[in-house]
Chains A and B, each alone.
Chain A
């Protein structure tokens, strides 16, 4: 299997391929960093081992991903938006042999969580921790050997699962290669491009978009802090002409740019968005960008890019070349070289989502129109897409139910003008408890984006034909709260 590094750095030129708040990085700078990390990790014998990465510094993260891949290890990207509970849940599921982490980020000590997890696991673990990703403190924990993977796995990208257990997408380097080709073609990437990218780098799309820039020798401008005024400044300084992000984040970028530096959005030639549902007329709200091309991309996580639409026109999708599809009971099924292989350690879920001959159930209901394009008419899966992040309602319901005064909780997504969708939790309580305590309870233990935006205390959860009636709850919320704000 070819190493990602060989695929990416095959040209003799040395362009700047990455710009972050900390500066510019040429292809040579990145390869030097990869060499440095290969040297750091070579004695760990990474073949068959999983390596957790919680590294918010993008040049170091990118270099570590490529170094681990070169050494034959499995990259397990971890989100720095996690807090103790969701991080521990991912660790106990993925069981990494080695973790490289920053000591702390956003006032949260990740190193403490990793150390206590490694100690309690009673299994062999090595933790590398650093404040600057240059000097590392290494601590080894003894115990039972963690099992070694018998087949090569390049990446396991984790997201929340509907049962409360996270799900890990197993991704091979060759699937990323196909995604890179799709993103290159979709965004007409040229070496002269300066692409502003705002996507979680631990998710499949974030990784493939980052690698797409490097592959083409274009400059990816990646803000490694989520700070809008400084993001606008970074776009300005780098004359960004293309942008990849989510609809909600782009809308916020536009609003801030319009207030402080409208030229930044005026000079964008192409905007590609993914991760959330987009509605008719989405592109028309950006009145400073009449000449900019707007595209929506579908299936950028599990499928690595499946189809696209022109957001200036009706929302109807066209498949990328090489992506096969069929429709069964209105549900879209896709087969693609860029799709994930299976769910890690979860054959039941894999069997439910992927057929024996490789068709993936997307969970989206579609309709083919007369022009041979596809319109999404509904969603089979219970999922909330908030600010480009996927939130599984049952995970939040289970979390709320752990509070001693919560009898039952039901979570739905409703439209939100900035987040795309917001999380609305209906809670039946027992004993003395108010909403504020529940908000605080969530904010202390799960990632901030998973904290409900609205909590409604109700007497009973409506039930229809023995099942929780989310449709009634949604209708009630839309009628009494206007559907958007509380």
Chain B
């Protein structure tokens, strides 16, 4: 999955204009997604990318869009 596709996915799930989603955007402060919405986002991402929910919450950087994208790439390469 390319980064722009990943951003479109987040935009669709969280209803945030795609132009606001950057690699260094933080979910909470920049995109206004609270923790419960984060859990929902991870569950949806998990269903749509095939990467397990646990990999998202265990990842070192789950604060930023780029950090979560790295999990998708890492799991994609190692599955």
Binding site for B on A (CB under 8 A): 106-107, 226-229, 231, 248-249, 252, 255-256, 258-260, 387, 416-419, 435-436, 439-440, 443, 448-449, 451, 453, 455, 485
> Nearest chain A CB to B39's CB is how many angstroms away?
4
Q: How large is the interface on B (under 10, 10 to 19, 20 to 34, 35 or more residues)?
A: 20 to 34
CB contacts (< 8 Å) of B16 on chain A: these are 439, 443
Q: Which of B33, B37, B53, B58 contacts A255 (CB 8 A)?
A: B53
Residue in A259, A417, A418, A485 whose beta carbon sits within 8 Å of that of B54 in the complex: A259
Does B77 make an interface contact (CB < 8 A)? no
State how many angstroms separate the Cβ of A132 from the closest Cβ of chain B: 19
Give the residues in chain B near A249, CB-CB below 8 Å.
36
Q: Is the interface of A mostly helix, strand, loop or mixed?
A: helix
* Closest residue on chain A to residue B30 by CB atoms: A107
Bound-complex Cα distance A463 to B20 (A): 38
- CB contact under 8 A between A418 and B43, given known A229-B62, A387-B36, A448-B34: yes
Cβ of A452 to closest chain B Cβ, rounded Å? 8
A259 to B53, CA, bound (A): 8
B57 touching A418, Cβ below 8 Å: no
Contact check, A229 vs B57: say whether CB atoms are below 8 A apart. yes
**Given known contacts A252-B36, A418-B43, what 10 new A-B pairs fall within 8 Å (CB)?**
A106-B32, A226-B35, A227-B28, A229-B57, A255-B39, A259-B53, A259-B54, A436-B15, A436-B17, A448-B33
Task: Report whether A443 and B32 are in contact in the complex, using a CB–CB cutoff of 8 Å.
Answer: yes
Q: How far is the CB of A117 from chain B (nearest CB, A)?
A: 22
Let me know if B9 is at the binding interface, CB within 8 A: no
Q: Is the CB–CB distance between A419 and B53 below 8 Å?
A: no
Q: Which of B33, B39, B54, B62 contacts A252 (CB 8 A)?
A: B39
Q: How far is the CA of A436 from the CA of B33 in the complex (A)?
A: 16
Which single member of B17, B37, B40, B54 contacts A440 (CB below 8 Å)? B17
Bound CA–CA A405/B69 (angstroms): 36
Residue pair B57, A260 in contact (C-beta under 8 Å): yes
Residues of A within 8 A of B58 (CB): 259-260
B57 near A106 (CB under 8 angstroms)? no
Q: Nearest Cβ in chain A — how far from B29, in angstroms?
A: 5
